[in-house]
Amino acid sequence: ASKAALCTSGTAVMELMLAKLPCVVAYQAHFLTECFIHLRKKINFISLPNILLDSPIVPEILFRACTDKNLAAKLSEVIFNDEVRQLQVGSAERMLQVLYEPIKRQGNLFAEELGDSGLSSDVYSPSTIAALTVLYTDKHRRMVHRN
Alpha-carbon dihedral of residues 123, 126, 128, 133, nearest 10 degrees?
120
Structure confidence by residue, pLDDT tens digits, 6-23: 998 778 898 898 889 999
Give how many domains the chain has, as a whole number. Answer: 1
Measured CA to CA, the distance from residue 138 to residue 141 in angstroms comes to 5
75-90 exposure pattern, b = at least 16 Cβ within 10 A, e = fewer = bebbeeeeebbebbee
pLDDT class for 110, splitting at 50, 70, 90?
low
Domain span holding position 40: 5-145
pTM of the entire structure?
0.71
pLDDT class for 42, splitting at 50, 70, 90?
confident
Q: Where are the alpha helices (DSSP H) in 19-65?
A: 31-40, 48-53
Query: Is pLDDT of 106 > 70?
Result: no
The whole-number pLDDT of residue 5 equals 95
The whole-number pLDDT of residue 66 equals 94
The rounded percent of the chain whose pLDDT value lies above 70 is 71
